[in-house]
Amino acid sequence: MEDLMSDAHDTSRTGTVPVTVLTGFLGAGKTTLLNHILSAEHGRKYAVLVNEFGELGVDNDLVVDADEEVFETNNGCICCTVRGDLIRILGNLLRRRGRFDGIIVETTGLADPAPVAQTFFVDENLREKARLDAVVTVVDAFNIIQTLEESPEATSQLAFADVIILNKTDLADAERRAEIVARIRQINAVAEIHEAQHGGVKLTDVLDRGGFDLKRALTTMPDFLDNNEHSHEEGIVSISLSLKGRLDQQRFNAWIGAILQEQGADILRSKGILYFEGAEQRFAFQAVHMMADGDFIGPIREGEATDSRLVFIGRNLNRPQLRRGFESCIAEGSVSA
Amino acid sequence: MSDELIVQRGAERRFESPIVQVAAARDGESFAALTADGELILIPHNALRNAEAWTVLQPHEGGLCLAPDSVPNAYLSGGEDGRLVRTTTDGTMEILHEGRRWIECVASTPTHLVFSSGKKMELRKAEGTETLKTLEHPSTVTGIVFDAKGKRLAASHYNGVSMWFVQAKVDTVRPLEWKGSHIGLAIHPSGEALVTSMQENDLHGWRLADGHNMRMSGYPKQVRSMSFTRNGRWLATAGADAVVLWPFFGGGPMGKAPTELARLPGLFVSAVAANPKENIVAAGYEDGTVVLAELSDQGASDGRVLPLCAGQVTARGTVTSLAFTPQGGAIIFGTEDGVLGTVDLSSAS
């Protein structure tokens, strides 16, 4: 598992093309949102990978047909599923540098977002040329509560999201919308939520978020409250942890490696902002199931609170155990609160 | 002054976009290269040392695959524009197929041509327009080869390879199964074995007589290029900092160690091509170095290595593709940085 963090010091991800993954349940308004994005005057070149060709009403951008072809890869100790069609198609599209400002991958309503996200960790060539910018999940405000009751895929799409677009808000009153947001927060405590009608979102809310690489997460991560509420959707919950005192990087790597190894199947996403002993920069950590990645993301300012924060989104999570484990990563001699 | 062999006996030219693939025509009278932008560069034999005389055409918007055509003096190319185009060395272009999906693989024999888009592979007569059959696969086709006699056809995809008979009245597939993503394939010249490259830096093989599985592993990088030597004794492969050759004789490759040629420590081989007439393998590296390495039937380590061009002298980018003429007397290579080079290997004139 040591390999998981081997790229921790790699800050050379600039120059890579951002990839936005668009998920959302059938009828939630993905295609409308996509049309909105593509027809907007943004002066940028996007390639769009779609499953259902012909639904899009625009032709000024490069639209490529992609089947959601998932296969299981066997990388040493890790078995995970990835999208081979993305490896192939993006590999070809990205041979020419500077050809696109961004790539949008649309998934079908029933798709599990994990294979898409994992693809960007697994394929070496893709890692060099592209970065997963954000998983954007479109949610239908009118139907979402019922959909969550009926479909585990919908829950999983919310759990994976970096950005959630609550669409069709004209069909739900304020009370209903508050109920929906509370429900979403149980599943995913850290995603940004934007309300929209007819897919009309600000492009800056959706594209080029830096959501996945967490550079923006510092400003968007909510205050971490120890809430012990439980979600009923497939038992998926968010658990957020906060620690004062610098962490020992080696201990953290060993601990998180073991956690992801043992519980990676249940942990859909994990993210964190970490302050390591001796480091002059904050460290952003993120993982999709067992695949982890991390980066130092900028200098610690004077007077900045150096509380390390970590979020787990998944099933069967044991909060006390995770908290104890996280606490055991505090560096020797560091003041703990 | 550079003492690179390419300067003395060849030519090179830099294009805007990466060279996707290079090929030699069946008659050996010309080379061609396809760029990611969809340009096709035609190089007649008499222009091997004169890059100014190369012709640049634009058959595609976005180039994906290139192969010699069934016709002796032409090429087949496929692109992101969904087109399959035949380009004759006089510069004539003919669209043989136009669809909505990318044309990702193409291959030919003197009597047939085949191309794939998505899961479908279409077999046509050599003249190019008459479709003989359309063959379906469980997932997108990633590579196509004909056997040396042109009787069998194999396509790689997820979880293995599908083998078909070109002339069969009823199409029954011979499935060669192995879990995982197979990203390309090569067939032994006498049809003894089929080898695929896998997503996870391994090779997988099948002995065709009995379907026995072979595994060839230990590569630090994905194996993007493979080539059987002329007599089929060795399979030369990229993916390590030397050309790795697996023995296909004396019971190999099972239980046999591979041999190595032309090791450049820390510099990875990105493309290989075996010479069709001599015991020579061409290797291209990540920095644009291209060498010829000699091997014997027994082994290789003491073989001579002849550099054609050196990355330390001129940075040319990762070599993506290499090809010899059918007679073996000339070589062409292309790189990710858009450099296209040729070297005339025939006796000095």
Size of interface A-B (CB pairs under 8 A): 61
- What is the residue range of B237's domain? 218-348
A 10 A CB-CB count for B349 gives: 6
Give the pLDDT of residue B18: 97
Closest CA–CA distance from residue B136 to any residue of chain A (Å) = 15
Nearest to B199 among A64, A73, A96 (CB): A73
Check CB contact under 8 Å for A73 and B181: yes
pLDDT band at B185 (very low <50, low <70, confident <90, very high): very high
Give the pLDDT of residue A161: 92
Cβ contacts (< 8 Å) between A126 and chain B: which residues? none
Residue B153 in this model has a pLDDT that exceeds 90: yes
Residue B202 in this model has a pLDDT that exceeds 60: yes
Give tens-digit pLDDT for A186-245: 899 888 899 888 777 877 777 877 644 454 554 455 554 444 444 444 588 888 898 888
- Least confidently predicted of A33-47, A82-96, A223-237, B169-183: A223-237
pLDDT band at A302 (very low <50, low <70, confident <90, very high): confident
Nearest to B18 among A73, A96, A122 (CB): A96
**Averaged pLDDT, B134-157:** 97
- Least confidently predicted of A13-17, A118-122, A333-337, B162-166: A333-337
Cβ contacts (< 8 Å) between A69 and chain B: which residues? 139-140, 158
Check CB contact under 8 Å for B64 and A123: no
Check CB contact under 8 Å for B200 and A53: no
- Contact (CB, 8 A) for A292 and A5: yes
* B16 within domain boundaries: no
- Whether the predicted model's global pTM rises above the 0.90 cut: no
Length of chain B: 349
Task: Tell me the backbone φ, ψ of residue A175, rounded to 5 degrees.
Answer: -65, -45
Give Cα B120 distance to the centre of its chain.
Answer: 21
pLDDT band at A332 (very low <50, low <70, confident <90, very high): confident
Check CB contact under 8 Å for B100 and A65: yes
The answer, for B139 touching chain A at a CB cutoff of 8 Å, is yes
Check CB contact under 8 Å for A53 and B100: yes
Q: What is residue A119's three-state secondary structure?
A: helix
**B115-120 contacts: CB < 8 A, separation 24 or more?**
B115/B65, B115/B76, B115/B78, B115/B84, B115/B144, B116/B140, B116/B141, B116/B144, B116/B155, B117/B78, B117/B82, B118/A65, B118/A67, B119/A67, B119/B157
Task: Please compute Rg for chain A using Cα positions.
Answer: 19
* B48 within domain boundaries: no
* B53 within domain boundaries: no
* B193 within domain boundaries: no
Minimum Cα–Cα distance from B182: chain A residue: A84
Tracing tokens 């677009």 back to the chain, one arrives at: A165
Cβ contacts (< 8 Å) between B336 and chain A: which residues? 95
Closest CA–CA distance from residue B9 to any residue of chain A (Å) = 30
Residue A311 in this model has a pLDDT that exceeds 80: yes
Give the pLDDT of residue A77: 52
d(CA A2, CA A103): 31
Q: What is residue A144's three-state secondary structure?
A: helix
Cβ contacts (< 8 Å) between A92 and chain B: which residues? 36, 62, 64, 80, 102
- Least confidently predicted of A48-62, A278-292, B122-136, B310-324: A48-62
Helices (H), chain A: 30-39, 84-93, 113-122, 124-129, 144-150, 152-160, 174-187, 203-206, 217-220, 249-263, 319-327
pLDDT band at A67 (very low <50, low <70, confident <90, very high): confident
pLDDT band at B159 (very low <50, low <70, confident <90, very high): very high
Number of separate domains in chain B: 1
Cβ contacts (< 8 Å) between A122 and chain B: which residues? 199
Check CB contact under 8 Å for A72 and B179: yes
* B223 within domain boundaries: yes
Give the pLDDT of residue B135: 97
Check CB contact under 8 Å for A74 and B180: yes
Check CB contact under 8 Å for A88 and B37: no
Check CB contact under 8 Å for A123 and B199: yes
Which tokens hold the place of B46? 């008499």
Residue A60 in this model has a pLDDT that exceeds 60: no
The answer, for B104 touching chain A at a CB cutoff of 8 Å, is yes
The answer, for B327 touching chain A at a CB cutoff of 8 Å, is no
Give the pLDDT of residue A197: 85
Closest CA–CA distance from residue A312 to any residue of chain B (Å) = 29
Strand order in the sheet with B105-108: B105-108, B112-117, B120-125, B131-136
Cβ contacts (< 8 Å) between B100 and chain A: which residues? 53, 65
pLDDT band at A179 (very low <50, low <70, confident <90, very high): very high
A 10 A CB-CB count for B327 gives: 14
**Angle at which helices A113-122 and A84-93 cross, to 10°:** 50
Question: Choosing among A69, A97, A129, which should be mutated to test the B contact, i.e. which has the most B CBs within 10 A?
Answer: A69
- Contact (CB, 8 A) for B183 and B177: no
* B166 within domain boundaries: no
Give the pLDDT of residue A4: 38
Closest CA–CA distance from residue A210 to any residue of chain B (Å) = 28
Check CB contact under 8 Å for A92 and B64: yes
Give the pLDDT of residue A271: 87
For B74-96, give one letter per residue: b (16+ CB within 10 A) or e: bbbbbbbbbbbbbbbbeeebeeb
Cβ contacts (< 8 Å) between A124 and chain B: which residues? 221-222
Give the CATH number, domain containing residue B252.
2.130.10.10
d(CA B271, CA B286): 9
d(CA B349, CA A16): 48
* B198 within domain boundaries: no
Give tens-digit pLDDT for A246-270: 999 999 999 999 999 999 989 999 9
- Contact (CB, 8 A) for A86 and A126: yes
d(CA A65, CA B147): 31
Rounded to the nearest integer, the mean pLDDT of chain B is 94
Those residues whose C-beta lies under 8 Å from the C-beta of residue A192, and which sit 6 or more positions away, are A162, A163, A164, A205, A211, A220
- Contact (CB, 8 A) for B76 and B84: yes
Give the pLDDT of residue A335: 57
Which tokens hold the place of A29? 């308004």
- Quick one: DSSP state of residue B348? P
pLDDT band at A39 (very low <50, low <70, confident <90, very high): confident
- Contact (CB, 8 A) for B40 and B32: yes
* B186 within domain boundaries: no
Q: What is residue B287's three-state secondary structure?
A: coil
**Averaged pLDDT, A11-33:** 80
Give tens-digit pLDDT for A92-110: 999 987 888 899 999 988 8
Q: Single out the residue of A165, A170, A163, A164 nearest to residue A197, CA to CA.
A: A170
Query: Can you give A220-259 as a three-state secondary structure string?
Result: HCCCCCCCCCCCCCCCCEEEEEEECCCECHHHHHHHHHHH
**Averaged pLDDT, B286-307:** 84
pLDDT band at A149 (very low <50, low <70, confident <90, very high): confident
Give the pLDDT of residue A23: 93
Residue A307 in this model has a pLDDT that exceeds 90: no
Closest CA–CA distance from residue A124 to any residue of chain B (Å) = 9
